A and B are shown apart, each in its own frame.
Chain A
Amino acid sequence: MASITFDHVDKVFGDVHVLKDLNIDIPDQEFLVLVGPSGCGKSTALRCLAGLEEITGGQIMIGDRVVNNVAPKDRDIAMVFQSYALYPHMTVFDNMAFGLKLRKVPKPEIKRRVEEAAEMMAIGHLLDRKPRQLSGGQRQRVALGRAIVRDPAVFLMDEPLSNLEAKLRVQTRAEISKLHQRLKTTFIYVTHDQTEAMTMGSRIAVMRDGLLQQLDSPQTLYDHPVNKFVAGFIGSPSMNFIKGTLTKGDGRLFFDGGSFAVPIPNSRRAHIESHIGKEVELGVRPEDVHDAALLPPGINGDAVVETTVDVTEPMGSEIYAYLQSGQHSIIGRFDPRTSARPGQPIRAVYDMEKMHIFDIATEKALV
């Protein structure tokens, strides 16, 4: 059990600046998810914490100890790799016991701890097998078991689910969350999958090009993204972005997208007055785009947009409608009773209470 601190951490590979002034404080027992597109530096951050890469500047602390110059083996961490990285020449038992053997733990205790962890991961019957005799899911469990056995202060996981098939991935996702509750240890989890991040993390750190974009709880991240990148990265399907201008008329504010103009509620005006007359970008999540005919109660139907349906994707519980309005493409998550049919016009309504406005130049969220 330990807290983690990234304090002004920089990492440079040759002339590539992989981590830029990274500052993250992770309290003890937190489940922190590092998420971002590939090449954003999330794996590098994890490897720096594990001691597999040296940092160029700043300091990393585990607990109260600065670990910049501490070898990986002395950092009291365990890591689960995307490829599982099981030792191919060892049995499952030996794979799990390897770290304990190196630490000269007495044999009976090794046996006890391995069996206990194997029990927890339901791989007790596989202890005599070699990794090549296991399925992907079983290997994944062995890799997790190998980390558990060590009873480390921090668990590091580098995309541990990406090699699993979809169904198993969802199942293992829940199991890792359960494991975290049970072990009460700090978990740091790297993924490029925003669903994994949202479902597992107590907090999520979104990264891009080596820069930390936002570090917040999943709900805050979803409801209040600080910039266009975070807004677009979190949520599936992605948020709709529509370029247009802020205009004023009749004492009300409007967002003019060219092919349509929608009123902005007075409650959301505060921070955008300065941008009146300027170009901005409107962000609307697909679930906030409704079929006007099936508007849920409590939503103001002012912001009407006339659109044409391109494609519909029935998901069962809802229908993803790909809409076209002027040159804008918009995705809406419609009630399945919708009359939207490809090629047909349909009237859509934006829930403007939940809209976002981004500055065109800085991409920062204004509201």
Chain B
Amino acid sequence: MSSQPQTSTGPRSRNTSEIVRMLLVPLALIISILVGRWSLGVMKDADAPRLLVVGVALLVGVFGIWIAYWLCNELLNLIPSETLRERIRPVIFVGPALALLIIYLVYPTVMTAYYSVLDKNSETFVGLENFKFAFTNRTIQIALRNNVYWIVGVTSFSVIGGLIMAVLFDKVRYEAVAKSMIFLPMIISFVGAGVIWRFMYASNPPGVGLLNAFIGNFDFKPVAWLINKSVNNIALIVIMIWLQTGFCLVILSAALKAIPADIIDAARVDGAGELDIFWRIIIPSLKTTILTVVTTVVIAVLKVFDIVFVMTNGNYETEVIANRMFTEFFRNQNYGLSSALTMILVIAVLPVMIINVRNARRQRG
């Protein structure tokens, strides 16, 4: 209320609008609290019609947040001191996001790190025992080895494949169709892809399975693709390649289109053949994009879980870290080991993340 003497020097209309505003904001606050409480009641009510619940949730979710920000901002404007006002403002706008980040990201990470040095039931401190076990246990060693296979296999094939296709598709008329065909698997969930590829790899009963039918044409004996230890990891990795190549293709193709045609023409006049152009002009121009794609794929691959879980559940030496982590946590309820495995993944992802962020920052200039 101390602001009133200040505004009295201003024109009359502004004075009245200030008062209206001071009355309106608290009113809006009360109304929105009431509406909020009512909508919570509706959403909690098991007997309420489903459609109403959905509608209310959508409205409150979308507009509620907006109104909440607006109200907070208006309330803040009522504070007379400008220095104080501007000091609080960032907290209001960044605060919620920061809080969510801390609750859902920082806190769990810290707690996981903490659990990883406790025992199975998170009761006694065991030091690095869990990590020691992880690196000496045969199954987990296999999981670590497989993760390396996955990283090398998926990243190299999807990035190189995507790059080659991007360059080749650039020269054909049905480019859009070809690109969509390759990109299509991107929209399939990993579990969905698993189901599809089960049919490809099926070997029991004999005579089922597309791949076995295909090699049967050349008089090869059927192979148990997911059980045979010499091929099962490759079989799983192929699925991920199939899913990721489209992503690489689309990103690299966009970067390829951004290379000015004049530069390619200049190289051609300068005496470059098609291979010279590819290696000396196109690849260097795509360098930062390739790095982005590689790091993105590596991160996705490090986290691979669904495909293995659905197809083999880590049996027959197809285990990966994320699946082991899941098994230890939910089946064996060994929280210590599970947390240690998580930390191993976190540490493995970290350098890749750093490269990715640095690269993104450099690209922005």
| A79 close to chain B: CB less than 8 A | yes
| A72 close to chain B: CB less than 8 A | yes
The smallest beta-carbon distance between B11 and chain A, in angstroms, is 47
Chain B residues, Cβ within 8 Å of A278: none
Interface pair B270/A88, CB less than 8 Å apart: no
Interface pair B269/A73, CB less than 8 Å apart: yes
| A50 close to chain B: CB less than 8 A | yes
Residue on B nearest A150 in the bound complex, by CB: B270
Rounded to whole angstroms, the CA-CA distance of A83 and B270 in the bound complex is 16
Interface pair B271/A52, CB less than 8 Å apart: no
Rounded to whole angstroms, the CA-CA distance of A79 and B269 in the bound complex is 7
Interface pair B285/A88, CB less than 8 Å apart: yes
Interface pair A73/B271, CB less than 8 Å apart: yes
Q: Could you give, for residues 276-292 of chain B, a 1 whenever the CB lies within 8 Å of some chain A CB and a 0 otherwise?
A: 10001100110100000
Residue on A nearest B273 in the bound complex, by CB: A73
Chain B residues, Cβ within 8 Å of A85: 260, 262-263, 265-266
Rounded to whole angstroms, the CA-CA distance of A150 and B267 in the bound complex is 13
Given A83-B260, A85-B260, A73-B266 contact (CB < 8 Å): no
Rounded to whole angstroms, the CA-CA distance of A146 and B285 in the bound complex is 19
Interface size on B, as a range, is 10 to 19
Given A83-B262, A85-B263, A87-B281, A52-B269 contact (CB < 8 Å): yes
Interface pair A102/B265, CB less than 8 Å apart: no
Rounded to whole angstroms, the CA-CA distance of A78 and B284 in the bound complex is 23
Rounded to whole angstroms, the CA-CA distance of A102 and B276 in the bound complex is 8
| A265 close to chain B: CB less than 8 A | no
Rounded to whole angstroms, the CA-CA distance of A146 and B270 in the bound complex is 9
Q: Could you give, for residues 69-103 of chain A, a 1 whenever the CB lies within 8 Å of some chain B CB and a 0 otherwise?
A: 00111000111011101111110000000110011
Rounded to whole angstroms, the CA-CA distance of A152 and B287 in the bound complex is 32
Interface pair B270/A98, CB less than 8 Å apart: yes
| B268 close to chain A: CB less than 8 A | yes
- Which residues in chain B, 234-286, are within 8 Å of chain A measured between CB atoms? 260, 262-263, 265-273, 276, 280-281, 284-285
Interface pair A89/B269, CB less than 8 Å apart: no
Residue on B nearest A80 in the bound complex, by CB: B266
The smallest beta-carbon distance between A141 and chain B, in angstroms, is 15
Rounded to whole angstroms, the CA-CA distance of A102 and B269 in the bound complex is 11
From B262, B265, B269, give the contact of A78 (CB < 8 A).
B269
Chain A residues, Cβ within 8 Å of B270: 73, 78, 98-99, 102, 146, 150
Interface residue count for A (Cβ, 8 Å)?
A: 26
Chain A residues, Cβ within 8 Å of B268: 51-52, 71-73
Rounded to whole angstroms, the CA-CA distance of A185 and B281 in the bound complex is 29
Chain A residues, Cβ within 8 Å of B267: 87, 98
Chain B residues, Cβ within 8 Å of A83: 260, 262
Among B270, B281, B287, find the residue whose CB has the most chain A CB atoms closer than 10 A.
B270
- Which residues in chain A, 129-182, are within 8 Å of chain B measured between CB atoms? 146, 150, 156
Given A73-B268, A87-B281, A89-B285, A81-B262 contact (CB < 8 Å): yes
From B265, B272, B280, B281, give the contact of A81 (CB < 8 A).
B265
Residue on A nearest B270 in the bound complex, by CB: A99
Chain A residues, Cβ within 8 Å of B276: 102
Rounded to whole angstroms, the CA-CA distance of A90 and B285 in the bound complex is 10
Interface pair B272/A102, CB less than 8 Å apart: yes
Chain B residues, Cβ within 8 Å of A146: 270
From A86, A89, A103, give the contact of B287 (CB < 8 A).
A89
Chain B residues, Cβ within 8 Å of A88: 263, 285
The smallest beta-carbon distance between B224 and chain A, in angstroms, is 49
Chain B residues, Cβ within 8 Å of A150: 270
Rounded to whole angstroms, the CA-CA distance of A99 and B272 in the bound complex is 8
Interface pair A50/B269, CB less than 8 Å apart: yes
The smallest beta-carbon distance between B311 and chain A, in angstroms, is 42
Among B266, B280, B285, find the residue whose CB has the most chain A CB atoms closer than 10 A.
B266
Given A83-B260, A85-B260, A52-B272 contact (CB < 8 Å): no
Interface pair A77/B269, CB less than 8 Å apart: yes
Given contacts A88-B263, A89-B287, A98-B280, 5 further A-B contacts (CB under 8 A): A73-B270, A78-B269, A86-B263, A86-B266, A87-B284
7 contacts between A and B (CB under 8 A): A50-B265, A72-B269, A77-B269, A88-B285, A89-B284, A90-B284, A150-B270
The 5 A-B pairs of least Cβ separation, nearest first, read A85-B262, A99-B270, A85-B266, A73-B271, A89-B284
